[in-house]
Structure 1
């Protein structure tokens, strides 16, 4: 008799847990639907870019992330920046070595200037001021 009541209890417990889980999911569904987009969508990561340096055999390896402004159209703006990502990479590759913004002796002022330069470049490529900030993930010079 106890052998049959134990599986019945387990089935009953599973049913109660499944019902409670369904109720919990139904209660949170409207709240999740009300949220616009995932906040991670704001951060657009770029692959490492290897650039020639000013001196012979010198190089610069840059990795950065662009932050899209928070707005009601954040998803569309992030998609727009992602669509222009190859153009942004091309312009960084083309213009950064010419502008000599960063070298081995660069300090915080030059890095801040590089961040502003990246932000302005991305906004000019996109044609709208959608990029709020450029974050330097890593910068190596040699």
Structure 2
């Protein structure tokens, strides 16, 4: 197997274990957009575990960057303004869809939630259509 396939499989297993543990041990779904949105909640318990979750993602990325910096090299031919607009649109989409790829696509589909299955199908199709439109019609 190619190294990239093995890394994708290992990453998928780690994500599956982590999301399962969060659900079983904490009763929470690992929807990253909801976790980020709720970081400033008034309840200390509710925001405490979210801060640990976010810290864990950053810490894991920093550790991985030490061992495999090549995984973090990205050649993007887009302006900073374009990237910020795209990020805002993704954030708006997560609000419209009541969740993101991690909440719906990983956790919701695994729980066989029809709402999450429909949401995942919708945002995957929308993403593919928009990416092809921007590349082949607009020329970005």
Compare the two structures and name the one with the higher strand fraction: 1
TM-score normalised over the length of structure 2: 0.27
Looking at CA atoms only, which structure, 1 or 2, has the larger radius of gyration? 1
Bigger share in helix: 2
TM-score, normalisation: structure 1: 0.27
User: Which one scores higher on RCO, CA 8 angstroms, separation ≥ 6?
Assistant: 1
